[in-house]
Amino acid sequence: MSADGGMAVETTGLTKRFGRVQAVTDVDLRVAEGDRYGFLGPNGSGKTTTVRMLLGLVLPTSGLVRVLGGRVPGDAARVLPQVGAMVEGPAAIGHLSGRANLRLLDAAVPTPGGRRTRRRRVEDALEALGLAQVGRRPVRAYSLGMRQRLGIASALVRRPRLLVLDEPTNGLDPQGIALVTDLLLQLSAQGTTLLVSSHLLSEVEHLCTRVGVMDRGHLVVQDDVDALRAPTGRLLVTLAGGAPGTAATLLGRRLLEPPDGDRLVAADDGDVVGDLVRGGLAVREAVVERRTLTDVVLARTTAVGEAGAAR
């Protein structure tokens, strides 16, 4: 929880049962305004149901949802105009162009500003996602990546304070991924709060300042990325010469794992490298061990298979 500003998203004891299936259990999500929040977890862990509850699509069995200071679904009419969302992939009317789709969707709920203002915002959103030149081609003829970019453009039309994106780079080519990532960072710099769910942990690690990890309906981790990636207290040393066997005597109890060839793991305590060198060993490399997001997620989630594929 950051001290400055209010909460963009705050859920309390959020729970959802579908019949006998417990989809989400007692989730306390905290996304501060300005956060770039990565929402992670294996398939079926309850991420999408949680996001749907934030947007008023699914009604909670119990618990409270507050988004941008208002209750959902109670204050949805006031709050949701400030939220842009893409949930479970983009969707559009296939026989119309992307532009026609955005205009129709924008006209469905009149916003302040006349028709010209609305059209300009649609053009701006298309421009930002590189779709302004596509013209009259129907969405049906779009590639997967173009549809994805149209979905993001649709979420951006009303310049939301909070942007909720599910798998934003799904189906994008490397240029598209770079475009979207840069755009999200730029929006974040302008003050937009991001709530991004993704399976690409390296991408989230790069983009997000904070993560929440869902597992089997529970929010099992919610922390700053920096805190999660803090040094583990272990030092990974690669030797360039000398007898690795002597490391045990040189380091004593600080040697955490017996040398494996020329590699050894030591506690990052005192001058480990100095002690090794003074003992006649040449050190090629010594790295402070940090956990990756993948390590954190895999350690804290139980589902195998799809989660394992992320490694």
Q: How far is the CB of 88 from other proteins (least distance, A)?
A: 7
Q: How far is the CB of 36 from other proteins (least distance, A)?
A: 21
Q: Give the sign of the dihedral formed by CA 306, CA 20, CA 24, CA 171.
A: positive
Q: How far is the CB of 159 from other proteins (least distance, A)?
A: 14
HSE, CB side, 13 Å, CA atoms: give it for residue 308. Answer: 4
Footprint (CB under 8 A) of other proteins, residues 135-174: 154
Decide: is 107 part of the binding site for other proteins (CB under 8 A). Answer: yes
Picking from 134, 207, 185, 191, the residue whose alpha carbon sits closest to that of residue 159 is 191
> In this chain, which stretch among 105-113, 199-207, 212-220, 246-254 interacts with other proteins, using CB under 8 A?
105-113
> In this chain, which stretch among 108-116, 221-229, 230-238, 273-281 interacts with other proteins, using CB under 8 A?
108-116
> In this chain, which stretch among 81-89, 168-176, 236-244, 297-305 interacts with other proteins, using CB under 8 A?
81-89
Decide: is 192 part of the binding site for other proteins (CB under 8 A). Answer: no
Footprint (CB under 8 A) of other proteins, residues 51-80: 52, 55-59, 76-77, 80
Q: How far is the CB of 210 from other proteins (least distance, A)?
A: 23
Decide: is 92 part of the binding site for other proteins (CB under 8 A). Answer: yes
Interface residue with other proteins, options 1, 88, 243, 278 (CB under 8 A): 88
Residue type, 257: E
d(CA 25, CA 60): 10
Report the DSSP beta bridge partners of residue 265: 236, 257
Total residues binding other proteins (CB under 8 A)? 31
Decide: is 87 part of the binding site for other proteins (CB under 8 A). Answer: yes
Q: How far is the CB of 87 from other proteins (least distance, A)?
A: 6
Provide the binding-site residues for other proteins, judged by CB under 8 A.
18, 52, 55-59, 76-77, 80-81, 83, 85, 87-96, 100, 104-105, 107-110, 154
